[in-house]
C-alpha cells in the first residue's frame, strides 16, 4: 500500500498530490505510482514493482533511463559547481550542436522549460512584427503561458476564451484558435486578417491530443501564408524535436519554420529547453534588441551536460532507423492483437513516438480524437499497468519508446497486451 500512503500524504502539502496534473491519474482513475528509480526501459515504484516504461519522462529518456554516459557527464559537471549565473563554454557547445542539427536555427537562446521556450518565441514574434494576433490550433498544447491556454470558440474567427481559471479574457483576446489539419480554414483566416497576424504556432507532430500528425498540405499552406503576409511561423518541437528524427519534424516535412521551440530530449532528463531561428529575428532579443527574456538557471551547466551528451548519443549510425522500427513494431503489434480480439482499435507511430486510439482509424484532428472511446482506453491502461507496463495515464497523451526497448521488451509488452485485450 506504499503508493496509496504516499499519495495520501502528498495531498496534504501539494495540490492534488502531484506537481503536474496528468500524474494524478484523474483521467484513468486509481492511485498514481510513486517512482523510486529507473534504468534502461524500466522504472520501479515505491512498492518495488517494475514497469516497462512508455512515457520516458514524457520524451526526454530517448537513450533510456540512467544511461551511463549521461550519468557520468552529470556527475562530472556537478563536481565543478551546480550553477554560476554567468556564461559557460557548455552553453556555446549546446548552441552549436542545435544549430548544426536543425538548419533552420541560425541562433538559439537556452531556457529551462518548454513553456518558457514557446512563451518567449511568441513574444519575439510579436516584437519583431509589431502585431498582436496569434494563431494556434485546437488540441495543440504549447505550455501554460496565459495567451496559449485557450479553447476554441464556436465560429471560424471567434476570439479565444481562457481554458484555465486565473487567465483574464483580455490576455487571450488576440489568440485565434483554428482546427488542426484544416488548410482551408487557415487560408480563410489569413485572407480576413493576415496583416494583423504576428505568428502561427503549431506542433507539426502533436502529442497532447494523443499522437496526431500534421498533413503536408496543412504545413505547406501555413509556410506559404506566413511568408506571403509577413507572419512568423513557429514550430513547437518541444515534444517531437529529436524524437521523430535527428533534425526534428521539420526535417521530415522539409519545411523551414522561422522559429523553433525545443525541449525534452535536449535536456536528457534535466530541465533544458530552447528557442531559436533566423538570425535577423533573434537579433530582436535583449541585449541586442527590445524583446526581453531572462532566466537565472538558463544554460545550467549540469543540465547542459546531460543534454549535450544525449544529443551526441542520438547521432550514432542507425539510431533513428532502429528507434522507428521498434516503435512501429509496438504499434503494429498492438493493432493486430486488438483486431484479433475484435476490438475497435488502431495505433500509429513516427520516430520514437506512438499513439493508441480506440477507433476504426487514426484521428487527424482534435474533434476526431474526442470521438474515440476513452473508457476503453482506461480499461487497457489498468490492465497493462497490472501486467507491468506503464502507458501514459491519459487517452490524450502520446507514448514514447527509447533505444533500450529492444525486441525482448517489445515482445514482453505484446504478451501483456494479449492478456489485456482478451478481457474485452
Rg of the Cα trace of the chain? 21
CA distances, 321 to each of 378, 384, 404, 408 (Å): 31, 27, 14, 18
How long a stretch of residues is the chain? Answer: 424
The residue extents of the domains of the chain are 2-62+317-421, 68-313
The C-alpha cell of 211 is what?
499522437
Q: Angle at CA 289, nearest 5°, toward 286 and 291?
A: 65
Tens digit of each residue's pLDDT (9 = 90 or more) over 58-99: 999 999 999 999 999 999 999 999 999 999 999 999 999 999
Q: Is the pLDDT of residue 417 over 50?
A: yes
pLDDT at 132: 95
pLDDT at 107: 98
Name the band, by pLDDT with cuts 50, 70 and 90, for residue 263: very high
Q: Which residues contact 180 (CB under 8 A, 6 or more apart)?
A: 137, 138, 139, 140, 202, 206, 209, 212, 214, 218, 364, 365, 366
CATH number, domain 68-313: 3.40.640.10
Residue closest to 267 by CA, chosen among 311, 297, 236, 235 = 311
CA 131 – CA 190 distance, rounded (Å): 14
Indicate the class that CATH gives domain 2-62+317-421. alpha beta
Tens digit of each residue's pLDDT (9 = 90 or more) over 94-119: 999 999 999 999 999 999 999 999 99
DSSP 29-41: -SPPPPEEEEEBT
Which one-letter DSSP state was computed for residue 133? E
More confident residue, 146 or 33: 33
CA distances, 136 to each of 28, 181, 200, 201 (Å): 28, 12, 6, 5
Q: Dihedrals φ, ψ of 333, to 5°?
A: -65, -45
Tens digit of each residue's pLDDT (9 = 90 or more) over 316-367: 999 999 999 999 999 999 999 999 999 999 999 999 999 999 999 999 999 9
Average confidence (pLDDT) over 122-136: 97
Tens digit of each residue's pLDDT (9 = 90 or more) over 267-298: 999 999 999 999 999 999 999 999 999 999 99
Residues serving a catalytic function are: 141, 236, 264
Host H or E run for residue 291: none
pLDDT at 320: 98
Is 99:245 a contact under the CB 8 Å cutoff? Answer: no
Within 10 A of 71 (CB to CB), how many other CB atoms are there?
A: 15
Is 267:60 a contact under the CB 8 Å cutoff? Answer: yes
Average confidence (pLDDT) over 129-134: 97
Please name every residue paired with 45 in a beta bridge, in sequence order, or none if there are none: 35
Mean pLDDT of the chain: 94
The C-alpha cell of 283 is what?
537579433
CA distances, 9 to each of 5, 27, 32, 174, 397 (Å): 6, 21, 12, 42, 27
Pairing status of strand 232-237 against strand 175-178:
unpaired
Is 362:331 a contact under the CB 8 Å cutoff? Answer: no
Kindly give the residue spans of alpha helices, DSSP state H, lying in 26-83. 68-79
CA 275 – CA 95 distance, rounded (Å): 10
CA distances, 171 to each of 148, 166, 234, 282 (Å): 9, 10, 20, 24
CA 369 – CA 366 distance, rounded (Å): 5
CA distances, 234 to each of 7, 122, 261 (Å): 39, 8, 7
Residue closest to 102 by CA, chosen among 231, 235, 194, 269 = 235
Tens digit of each residue's pLDDT (9 = 90 or more) over 168-204: 777 788 999 999 999 999 999 999 999 999 999 999 9
Phi-psi region of 405 (alpha: psi -120 to 50; beta: other; left: phi over 0): beta
Q: What's CA 241's distance to the chain center, in Å?
A: 8
Is 383:423 a contact under the CB 8 Å cutoff? Answer: yes
CA 421 – CA 221 distance, rounded (Å): 41
pTM: 0.95
Amino acid at each position: 500500500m506504499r503508493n496509496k500512503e504516499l499519495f495520501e500524504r502528498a495531498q496534504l502539502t501539494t495540490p492534488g498530490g502531484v506537481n503536474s496534473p496528468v500524474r494524478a491519474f484523474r483521467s484513468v482513475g486509481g492511485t498514481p505510482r510513486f517512482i523510486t528509480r529507473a534504468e534502461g526501459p524500466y522504472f520501479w515504484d515505491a512498492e518495488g514493482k517494475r514497469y516497462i516504461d512508455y512515457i520516458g519522462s514524457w520524451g526526454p529518456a530517448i537513450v533510456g533511463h540512467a544511461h551511463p554516459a549521461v550519468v557520468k557527464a552529470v556527475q562530472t559537471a556537478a563536481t565543478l559547481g551546480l550553477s554560476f549565473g554567468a556564461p559557460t563554454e557548455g552553453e556555446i557547445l549546446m548552441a552549436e550542436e542545435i544549430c548544426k542539427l536543425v538548419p533552420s536555427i541560425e541562433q538559439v537562446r537556452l531556457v529551462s522549460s518548454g513553456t518558457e521556450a514557446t512563451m518567449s518565441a511568441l513574444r519575439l514574434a510579436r516584437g519583431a512584427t509589431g502585431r498582436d494576433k496569434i494563431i494556434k490550433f485546437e488540441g495543440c498544447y504549447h505550455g501554460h503561458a496565459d495567451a496559449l491556454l485557450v479553447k476554441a470558440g464556436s465560429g471560424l474567427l471567434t476570439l479565444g476564451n481562457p481554458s484555465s481559471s486565473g487567465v483574464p479574457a483580455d490576455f487571450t483576446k488576440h489568440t485565434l484558435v483554428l482546427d488542426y489539419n484544416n488548410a482551408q480554414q487557415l487560408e480563410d483566416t489569413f485572407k480576413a486578417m493576415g496583416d494583423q497576424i504576428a505568428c502561427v504556432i503549431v506542433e507539426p507532430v502533436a502529442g497532447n491530443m494523443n499522437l496526431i500528425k500534421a498533413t503536408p498540405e496543412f504545413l505547406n499552406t501555413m509556410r506559404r501564408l506566413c511568408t506571403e503576409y509577413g507572419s512568423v511561423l513557429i514550430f513547437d518541437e518541444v515534444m517531437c524535436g529529436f524524437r521523430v528524427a535527428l533534425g526534428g519534424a521539420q526535417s521530415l516535412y522539409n519545411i523551414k519554420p522561422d522559429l523553433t521551440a525545443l525541449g525534452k530530449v535536449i535536456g536528457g532528463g534535466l530541465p533544458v529547453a530552447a528557442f531559436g531561428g533566423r538570425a535577423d529575428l533573434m537579433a530582436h532579443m535583449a541585449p541586442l534588441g527590445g524583446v526581453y527574456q531572462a532566466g537565472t538557471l538558463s544554460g545550467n551547466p549540469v543540465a547542459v551536460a546531460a543534454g549535450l551528451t544525449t544529443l551526441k548519443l542520438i547521432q550514432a549510425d542507425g539510431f533513428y532507423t532502429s528507434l522507428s522500427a521498434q516503435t512501429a513494431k509496438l504499434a503494429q503489434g498492438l493493432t493486430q492483437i486488438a483486431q484479433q480480439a475484435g476490438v475497435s482499435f488502431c495505433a500509429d507511430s513516427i520516430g520514437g513516438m506512438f499513439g493508441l486510439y480506440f477507433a476504426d482509424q487514426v484521428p487527424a484532428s482534435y474533434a476526431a480524437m474526442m470521438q474515440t472511446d476513452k473508457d476503453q482506453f482506461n480499461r487497457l491502461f489498468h490492465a497493462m499497468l497490472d501486467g507491468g507496463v506503464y502507458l501514459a495515464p491519459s487517452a490524450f497523451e502520446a507514448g514514447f519508446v527509447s533505444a533500450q526497448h529492444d525486441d525482448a521488451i517489445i515482445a514482453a509488452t505484446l504478451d501483456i497486451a494479449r492478456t489485456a485485450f482478451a478481457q474485452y
